[in-house]
Amino acid sequence: MEIPQSLDSKFRFILVAAKRARQLQGGAKALMQTATKKSTRMAQQEVSAGLVPIEIIPLASANDKNNKKKAAK
């Protein structure tokens, strides 16, 4: 399985594919035709093809959190 360039790690690929597989099991329509009926494999293929939108939100640093707390006081 090839990991798309938009993902930074295999771990993130698995997380995105698992969430998409849960959506497919819940009744969501497939985004592409596949030879398999297994939702996990379908999800992996959809993520690899770049059909599943992915947004990576950066974490706030500890300094940002401390500055927000000080500003709120």
Tell me what pLDDT residue 4 has. Answer: 79
Residue 2 domain-assigned?
A: no
Residue 4 domain-assigned?
A: no
Residue 28 domain-assigned?
A: yes
Residue 64 domain-assigned?
A: yes
Does the pLDDT value for residue 1 go beyond 80?
Answer: no
Q: How many Cα neighbours within 13 Å face the side chain of 52?
A: 27
Total number of domains constituting the chain: 1
Q: What percent of the chain has pLDDT over 70?
A: 84
Task: State which of 42-46, 59-63, 69-73 shows the largest mean pLDDT.
Answer: 42-46
**CATH number of the domain residue 44 falls in:** 3.90.940.10
Residue 20 domain-assigned?
A: yes
Tell me what pLDDT residue 2 has. Answer: 74
> CB-based burial of residue 24 (10 Å sphere; 0-12 exposed, 13-18 middle, 19+ buried)?
middle
Residue 15 domain-assigned?
A: yes
Full domain range(s) for residue 55: 10-72
